[in-house]
Structure 1
Amino acid sequence: MDYGDGTTSVSSHKSDGTELAKDSITYEKSTGKLLSATNANGIKTAYSYGDAANPFLQTGTETKVFYQDLADGTVKFLSDAKVTTTTAYDANGNVTKEVDETGETTTTTYGTGDEKNLVQTAVTTNRDGDKVSDLTYDYDENGNTTLEYEDVADTLSEYVYNEDGEVIEESEYEDAKSADSKGVLVSKTVSELEEADHEVEESSTVTQGSVEEVSTTQYDAMGRETESTDENTGEVTKTSYDFMGRAVKTVKTLDGNSQTETKVYDANGTITSETSSAGVTTAYVYDRLNRVVETKETADGTTKTTETAYGYADAQIHTLSGTKVYKDLSVETTTVNGKITRKTWTDGAGNAVRTFDGGIYTDHVFTDDGKETASILLGTGTGGEEKISISLFDKEGKQTHTIQNPKVDHGAVTVDDTSIVTKTSYDANGNEISAIDGNGNTTGYAYDDQNRVTKVTQDNISSTIAYSIGEDGKTTTSVTDAKGHINREVTNEAGLTESTTDLGDGSERISTTYTYDENGNKIKETYENGGYKTFAYDKKNRLVKTESYNAPDVGENTGERTLKSVYSYDIHDQLVEMVDYKVTGNTETAYRYTEYRYDSRGQMTGYAELSQEGQPTADDVSSHQITYTYDADGNLEKVTYPSEKNGVKSLSYTYNKDGWLTEIKAAVRSGSSTTEKVVRTYTYDAYGRVKEIKDYRNILGSGDKAVKKVYGYDSFDRVKEISSTDLETGKEMESYHYEYDKNSNITKKTEINNYPKEDGKKVNETKAYTYDKLGRLTKTVTTDHKNDDSQKTVTYTYDNVGNRMSEDDGTTQTTYVYNGLDQIKTATKAKGTAVDEVRQYTYDANGNQISIKSTKTGETETYDYDAENRLSEVSATKDGKTSVVQQNIYNGDGQRIQKTEGNQTTNYYYQDGVVSYTTDETGKQTSQNLIGTEGNIIGTQRYNGDNISYYLYNKDIQGSTTSLVKEDGSADAVYQYTDFGETTVTGENAAGNEVCYTGGIYDSTTGLYYLNARYFNPEDGRFLTEDTYRGEVNEPDTWHLYAYCKNNPVNYTDPSGHKAKRVIYYNKKGHGFKKQAMHSPYYKNSQVTFKSVIKKAQFKKEWNKIPKGTSELYLYLHGGVSCLYFDGSDLKLKELLALKKKKIKKKIVLLSCKGGIGDKNSVAKIMAKKCQCVVYASNYPYGLSYRYDKKKKVYYPRYGGKQNYYNHENPLKKYKP
């Protein structure tokens, strides 16, 4: 630190004295007033003092800002603007008016007399003068806030205090029309404090509607929490401390079962080791600056060692003006088990100008005020071809454009026809009001005064959303689509959905209602037809039983109980058993047991499914169990199958130093001997993209006969070509060439398939695709290059909500008629003017398609469903005779586990949600699929007595099977599909393969596809039943409950039968990041859901509405120790503790300052307990930016500053879409 004449400089140096960065401030010597501050990049902020009554109070700041614009195809990098803030004060020095950098103004008034320093009102307006917030406060005689009323959000909070000034009661109201009109009570927290012998016991009751949570906490004389009891569950947590007041042991006890966590500290008070309740021990080593330099995590006999090294180095960094030599960059290197996994080079201003992550180098370009404007992907080395992405920001720091593949010439950045540009515009509140995609299509949004979306417009087609709160405190959200059809959702005071209703055009309706217990757990789900499902929970609110009831018969009050599932857990809340029962009268018969096993790290090590009535023994489980082992990095290392037959017994996976899968080997058993054979190998290009795959087709025999698949990519890392060559013959057997538009829709696909034996069945064709402005497929032109380039054209038309109105293939014209619930009533097929067939459709009260009658054949297909609306039987009736075509049975997870067609029964067993193997009606194994690490089926074994046949799968870019290749290199079957998946199979098809279009299960007898949650009819291009996922209010294309892939089947797939669920919550702090993320290919492909939670009440509501099945939750929020900050008020500890428990399947990423601080009461730990999942959070303030590695399709959120992650995992690790 240097002191000069009115200037103070703070510099950071290397140990040899080399200066790394320098910040300086200037001040007025006579008064000490701060005049300016200049950061390491030379950005100066000037401070002014213009209040004569308060000469030492700052009244304004002025700072230079850097922003960009795109005009006439040229990017302009500008710094000619300055942002200012102004502050005014009253005579008491209280702030009366503040204007921030965006022009948002807050005007504050104060009381008189004893309340002269207490805020009475605080009104915030945006730059257009519209109110953003309007707060009014009341106080008691001690100056405690007793009332807080927010006029814009119509919310009111009341507080009651004890004699010590501590809050003992807090009530929150919505739909409050004034400070004197409370509105509807939605939440109430009551606390009681008792003190004895210097110890304090606090009892807290939080009530939200019918949901109540009660807890008791004891504190010792030093204010440390020593014991807490969750009165709802009975779980007691006791914490012990050492003589320094550090928590050394935590014991949780419930029903006599205890879980213990311990910590050990060094003399500096730093944790040196800790042991989890599962027995995982983590030891830490620190350097002289108390930074963690080594972490050793030990569990189940394996140790994961993570080392972090700190140093300095020069580097030649790529910029938009060529390369630049940076001196003395701060370099941080992370090594896991001896392999470098991440490395960052950071300049003196704290910007990470180069990163190495997952084997890929990326350079980053920042403005002087710290905004990342460009990322330059270099690949596996630093000298590779640059792949540049640009982000442009306005003066307020909001992202306005993204540019992929710009043209860069010595700092000049332009766009041309080979670039992809997206643009976003905002209103004065920072809400997105228009988004222009790469093709130039615009989506517009309108909002109410609470920043909720009220209108969405696409291609001049508008949909509206309305919100209302009733006297009972329930909120109704009404969505009106472009045809005037309405659906409604009613949520209670706790934010729990009580009903969803589709009203259509008013002539029909489908409604589902939900009831909850006092803990907010759903206990009943009732369908429109009167059928229902019940849910039961244990003390820890874990689901332990479900029962399903058919619709009631006429004259009876209750339906017949038909299904039951029972769930069991271990002490760590991991599911260990699911038992499914059929119920007839009072007789319960078990039919499927599912058993789960885990290691100390919580990784699944065993998974067994057994079809039997009696409780399985340990030997039973072992004989049916798929086992998993992992390496120290957590990568799947080996999968062992339970089959005792000859053939593949297990698969082993090998990774390179960057964690990329390079080889899959099989242990092949033949009699008493086992041979290791290579199943598949991968090679990658310089950008981490798959370059080549070799699939070995004769793993059951001798030799190494393989099919080589070579991949090529375009400038945007989209697959441009796939070529499959049989290495034994050297002949190209399949190839695919793709072209795309600027929304990455495939516009042309050329396919060659030489596998068919007959020349007339070989394929050489090009398909050209056309889309409308909503991204729906409207035309396909197929050119057959084998037949003189003859062409066939298929066209589609849709109504404004996505119902297919017509399909014309040039020979047959099909027209559709729908009711107000978007259900097909008729499909008429005509050839010219002559009607060839009319198909009549009917649906049940729950919205399930129950019949199709053909006037041409006279046949009626009938579909029956079980009590949970799953297709249970398909039958056909003609000339008064009915035959059963198919019967299906499901497990408690909704997976189809048995299919019977005629005399043939197929039993399905799963691995990670994918069919692993099948058995016949006698229980004999008929198949074993070989599955990769991404759930992709690579090959399959088929059993016929003692004979085994092996087939490998060839697939296109959508994951559709194109050919099934035998061991001799010929094809057992070749597959072709229409746009929506109508399937043609040629060849012997001895394997009886069912994995076809987009990897779905094809039921050839019905023509339907089983896509896990629902069945898809490719002929009509839609599902038979409604989607239980009801879409997002700001995304009209998610509202249609029967449509398949938004009517864009060429570019989207739907393996789950639902829309993919990934949820992002963000407030103002996360808004800029959200804009970057939502336009990235990662989130586009994942169809992520974004939720704006500017206000505390919005966050609480959205939290309570987190849907079942959500796998990942990201929180881009502003926070501190044991709290989250929102506009107008904070979400404090008690409110965090009162949040509704949710089940997040995988993880929460908490992108909030200091989210890990607070020990048990940190935001991270509270959420981990609430959601029973891993939480990633930082103990430090952070800077947030974003990068997407297009080559590997890997997303990297990036941070600036020191990090310390809860659970000692780094959220910077790659997340694959």
Structure 2
Amino acid sequence: AGNRTSYEYSGGKKVKVIAPDGTQTMIVVDDLGNTQSIRKNVTTPAGIRELTMSATYDANGQALTWTDAEQNLTTQTWTATGQSSSLTDALGRTTVTLRDDLDRTVGINFADGAVIQLVNNSMGQVTEQTLPGQQVIKNVYDAIGRPTALIYPDSTSGDASDNPKLQISYDVAGRPTTTTDPNGRVTQKEFDAYGNVTAVIDPSGNRVTNEFDAANRLIQTSDTLGHTTRYQYDANGRLTRTTLPNGASVAVAYDSRGNITSLVDALGNQTKYTYDTTNRLIGVLDAAGGQTIYGYDEVGNLVRETDANGNVTTYEYDGRGLRTAIVRPMGERETYVYDAVGQLVKYTNAAGESVEYQYDLRGRFASKAVDGNTTTFTYDAAENLSSVSDVRGVTLFEYDARGHITKKTEPDGRFIAYTYDAFGNMQSISTESGTTTYRLDAAGRLDKVIDQGGGVTVYHYDVMGRLSQMDRPDGTTELQDYDAIGNVVRILTSAQSQVISDLQYTYDLAGRVIKLENIGLSRQEFKYDVLGRLVQESTILSSGDSTRIDYEYDRVGNRLSMSDGRGTTTYTYDRDDRLLQTTGEQAATYTYDAASRLISINAGPNDQKQFEWSGEHRLVRTTVVTSAGASTTDYVYDHNGDLVETNRDGVQLKLLVDSNRPYAEVIEESSAGGAVLASYAFGYDRLSRTTSSGATYYHTDRLGSTLYITDSAHHVVGSQWFSGYGIETAGEGDSNDPY
């Protein structure tokens, strides 16, 4: 009853487990207590299926084989001392572990012939690792076995004296108090008598302090400026409230089993959670009354999800718990097929288009086939991706001893080259059009960016380490201010005492912008519902003119209407949440293919758009029909799915993409003949665009959206403004700039 799990025994052996929801698991145990098999029934769309998993053991109780619920066999061998000797997976790939006379691991041989070699000290600690590409990583320990240094490989394999090194030192109590990175930057920690970290001092001297209660729970964190975040707990030690420096707090409640039952945000809006007897989430009730319901099968797989509109998505699985199908509310079905070790080998979308994958002996992508084309991948001895062959040709990659990419060469010969400092921070990016250089300060933060034309961007930081000022090559300066919880409250852009823009932000307690003022030009105000959705935005210009837009939504967030001074636009959706029709000011109809991809928008005979897609759901062609006629654009992608080429009505544009960053960015544009048309320099964001006409510079809002473009003499040559949903509402100037 209740949440009780019960067991049945026979001859002193456990033979059945009955979960709180009544689900039964049958167990067979041998005389040594080893589990030989587990059987369980699971309900599938095809009916009841019995899942059986089994294992065999040697006389020492060590597993020799185990068979999963899809009857895939894995085998293992052991040494006389009970250490693993080899493992052969269900595809027949064997990994062998080599040991010395003291039973220490000295090597690992992989199925493809790759080898890792290990050297141990007298305490059995690994002091040296030689990787498959012959890179050597060394670990240094003190007399009592504590790690004191990690020495990375470099280009001079025979001499480790100048290698990059991470160092750790300890206090008399054995606690790690300082860490020094390969560039000599030191991070310090302080501890109390119980080992709690009471302070962290970063390389720039920024100090964060922590306070703990008698139960050693963190109750307060304060930054260098004295901004304090506080934490409260219940009698069971569970976090119940977090209060931020601005007074905003988030409260959490739990049931007797420790599951979160409610979350109350800083504005008092409550989300509730319910669970079944096995602690699985079965319901979420949002602050607006919308409920999402989850259902599970007997082995705990999520098989049914009902949204707040009552639309149901179902999921199917194989015996291993790998998802094999997704069925959308209107019946569209996607399927997934896996090999014996669980690698995805085929994906088929609802339109019947498939992507097939093959892997090498190490489980790395070897090939991908889609739309009748095959992409192949090869790797170097150090296991780095070395080449990709696709319909575009062959893309090549080169690396340093640390595994950092040093060069990417496109099929047509265009390239990106990189250099790094000792800690792996990028120092330069070079292309055919030139080199952009990066300089860091003593704290490891970006200090200067020197672009291809020699222009220097300089970054400054506040005592918290946040960006506070940026000086541009065009003579502009941008200042940023923050509130107590780190929200940007002001961005002031000026040149020679002339203000270009003065953006000032006001936030509610939930951290949402409720007012944006561009001093002297405009003011935008925003209102939200209890779910944080934008329901009203107002814009007041300095001239006194104003506009207002109101939005309404359904329970799952689909926009139902938008009303402004020109009238109301309404939106209609199907059960898959696909937009079908808009009426009113922006009337149009929308159609989709069998895979739910948008294929047309029809807003009248002179306002039509058609879209074509690949089997990987990448947009490959758009056709736009206006009163001036039809225009077609084709799109080409690389193996990462990054857009690398467009062809608009026969005019080809090649894009050189830098994917060696958190978000891939276009750094160069070229014509079909290879002439460089534009190049881009980046710091934290896109800084500038250089063409034959010279350089222009981007000035953005807090989200990184470009608001102003200036020339090298800091004159504004382009500007644009956006609605709360990021739709451009006004703009003037440089229309040739894509950003």
TM range (shorter): 0.7 to 0.9
Q: Tell me which amino acid in the other structure corresponds to 1:285.
A: V
Cα distance in 1 between the residues matched to 2:493 and 2:321: 53
> Out of 495, 500, 516, which is 1:764 matched to?
500
Matches within 5 A, 1:764-803: 764-783=500-519, 790-803=520-533
Return the offset for 1:982. Answer: 9.1
Who is 1:577 aligned against? 367
Taking every aligned residue pair, what percent have the same amino acid on both sides?
Answer: 20
1:1089-1130, Cα deviation, whole Å (9 max, x unpaired): xxxxxxxxxxxxxxxxxxxxxxxxxxxxxxxxxxxxxxxxxx
Who is 2:638 aligned against? 910
Who is 2:732 aligned against? none
Cα distance in 1 between the residues matched to 2:467 and 2:124: 47
Cα distance in 2 between the residues matched to 1:239 and 1:203: 17
The change in CA–CA distance for 1:580 and 1:329 in structure 2 (over 3 A counts) is closer
Q: Tell me which amino acid in the other structure corresponds to 2:562.
A: A
Cα distance in 2 between the residues matched to 1:770 and 1:454: 32
Who is 2:330 aligned against? 529
> Out of 396, 402, 406, which is 2:221 matched to?
402
Q: Tell me which amino acid in the other structure corresponds to 1:742.
A: A
The change in CA–CA distance for 1:742 and 1:865 in structure 2 (over 3 A counts) is farther
Who is 1:155 aligned against? 4
Equivalent position SS for 1:744: coil
The change in CA–CA distance for 1:572 and 1:370 in structure 2 (over 3 A counts) is same
> Out of 745, 750, 757, which is 2:487 matched to?
745
1:461·1:482 contact (CA, 8 Å) conserved in 2? no
- 2:186 matches 1:361: yes
Return the offset for 1:966. Answer: 1.7
Who is 1:72 aligned against? none
Equivalent position SS for 1:706: coil
- 2:534 matches 1:804: yes
In our comparison, the structure showing a higher alpha carbon Rg is 1
2:488·2:702 contact (CA, 8 Å) conserved in 1? no
Matches within 5 A, 1:472-871: 477-503=282-308, 508-549=309-350, 561-581=351-371, 590=372, 593-599=374-380, 602-610=383-391, 624-644=393-413, 649-666=414-431, 668=432, 678-696=434-452, 705-725=453-473, 731-732=474-475, 734-752=476-494, 764-783=500-519, 790-810=520-540, 811-830=546-565, 836-855=566-585, 860-871=587-598
2:570·2:584 contact (CA, 8 Å) conserved in 1? yes
Return the offset for 1:274. Answer: 2.3
1:972-1016, Cα deviation, whole Å (9 max, x unpaired): x967779896978899xxxxxxxx99xxxxxx9xx99xxxxxxx9
Cα distance in 1 between the residues matched to 2:415 and 2:272: 53
Cα distance in 1 between the residues matched to 2:16 and 2:380: 44
Q: Tell me which amino acid in the other structure corresponds to 2:464.
A: F
Cα distance in 2 between the residues matched to 1:882 and 1:919: 22
Q: Tell me which amino acid in the other structure corresponds to 2:591.
A: D
Which ranges of structure 2 fall in alignment gaps of 5 or more residues?
44-48, 154-159, 541-545, 625-629, 712-718, 730-739
Cα distance in 1 between the residues matched to 2:589 and 2:689: 32
1:661-719, Cα deviation, whole Å (9 max, x unpaired): 212233x4xxxxxxxx75221111111101111121xxxxxxxx222221111122111
Q: If the length of structure 1 is used for normalisation, what is the TM-score?
A: 0.53
Cα distance in 1 between the residues matched to 2:461 and 2:518: 23
Which ranges of structure 1 fall in alignment gaps of 5 or more residues?
1-148, 175-182, 313-327, 380-384, 406-417, 550-560, 582-589, 611-622, 669-676, 697-704, 726-730, 755-761, 784-789, 831-835, 988-995, 998-1003, 1009-1015, 1022-1217
Cα distance in 2 between the residues matched to 1:737 and 1:913: 36
Cα distance in 1 between the residues matched to 2:298 and 2:495: 59
2:513·2:526 contact (CA, 8 Å) conserved in 1? yes
Cα distance in 2 between the residues matched to 1:478 and 1:804: 25
Cα distance in 1 between the residues matched to 2:239 and 2:174: 30
2:354·2:615 contact (CA, 8 Å) conserved in 1? no
1:750·1:767 contact (CA, 8 Å) conserved in 2? yes
The change in CA–CA distance for 1:827 and 1:248 in structure 2 (over 3 A counts) is closer
Who is 2:655 aligned against? 927
1:247-290, Cα deviation, whole Å (9 max, x unpaired): 44433353xxx322223322222222222234332222233334
> Out of 24, 27, 40, which is 1:190 matched to?
27
Matches within 5 A, 1:74-89: none
> Out of 198, 201, 208, which is 1:376 matched to?
201
Cα distance in 1 between the residues matched to 2:57 and 2:505: 68
The change in CA–CA distance for 1:263 and 1:568 in structure 2 (over 3 A counts) is closer
Bigger relative contact order (CA 8 A; separation at least 6):
2
Return the offset for 1:329. Answer: 12
Cα distance in 2 between the residues matched to 1:207 and 1:601: 43
The change in CA–CA distance for 1:580 and 1:749 in structure 2 (over 3 A counts) is same
> Out of 63, 69, 87, which is 1:250 matched to?
87
Cα distance in 2 between the residues matched to 1:979 and 1:660: 25
Who is 2:75 aligned against? 237
Who is 1:420 aligned against? 227
The change in CA–CA distance for 1:874 and 1:341 in structure 2 (over 3 A counts) is farther
The change in CA–CA distance for 1:606 and 1:687 in structure 2 (over 3 A counts) is same
Q: Tell me which amino acid in the other structure corresponds to 2:669.
A: Q
Q: Tell me which amino acid in the other structure corresponds to 1:292.
A: V
Who is 2:19 aligned against? 173
Cα distance in 2 between the residues matched to 1:365 and 1:946: 57
Cα distance in 2 between the residues matched to 1:490 and 1:442: 32
Cα distance in 1 between the residues matched to 2:448 and 2:706: 30
The change in CA–CA distance for 1:1020 and 1:945 in structure 2 (over 3 A counts) is closer
Cα distance in 2 between the residues matched to 1:570 and 1:923: 39
The change in CA–CA distance for 1:212 and 1:276 in structure 2 (over 3 A counts) is farther
Cα distance in 1 between the residues matched to 2:382 and 2:37: 34
Matches within 5 A, 1:1114-1193: none
1:278·1:601 contact (CA, 8 Å) conserved in 2? no
The change in CA–CA distance for 1:155 and 1:736 in structure 2 (over 3 A counts) is farther
Equivalent position SS for 1:809: strand
The change in CA–CA distance for 1:1018 and 1:429 in structure 2 (over 3 A counts) is same
The change in CA–CA distance for 1:735 and 1:627 in structure 2 (over 3 A counts) is farther
Cα distance in 2 between the residues matched to 1:981 and 1:457: 31
Cα distance in 2 between the residues matched to 1:795 and 1:980: 19
Who is 2:56 aligned against? 218
Cα distance in 2 between the residues matched to 1:979 and 1:264: 53
The change in CA–CA distance for 1:861 and 1:263 in structure 2 (over 3 A counts) is same
Cα distance in 1 between the residues matched to 2:223 and 2:234: 25
> Out of 238, 261, 283, which is 1:431 matched to?
238
1:932·1:938 contact (CA, 8 Å) conserved in 2? no
Cα distance in 2 between the residues matched to 1:330 and 1:978: 45
The change in CA–CA distance for 1:576 and 1:450 in structure 2 (over 3 A counts) is same
1:91-144, Cα deviation, whole Å (9 max, x unpaired): xxxxxxxxxxxxxxxxxxxxxxxxxxxxxxxxxxxxxxxxxxxxxxxxxxxxxx
> Out of 606, 611, 614, which is 1:887 matched to?
611
Who is 1:1013 aligned against? none
Return the offset for 1:771. Answer: 0.7
**Aligned-pair RMSD on alpha carbons?**
3.6
Equivalent position SS for 1:209: strand
Who is 2:209 aligned against? 390
Return the offset for 1:600. Answer: 5.5
Return the offset for 1:807. Answer: 0.9
1:366·1:372 contact (CA, 8 Å) conserved in 2? yes
Return the offset for 1:837. Answer: 2.7
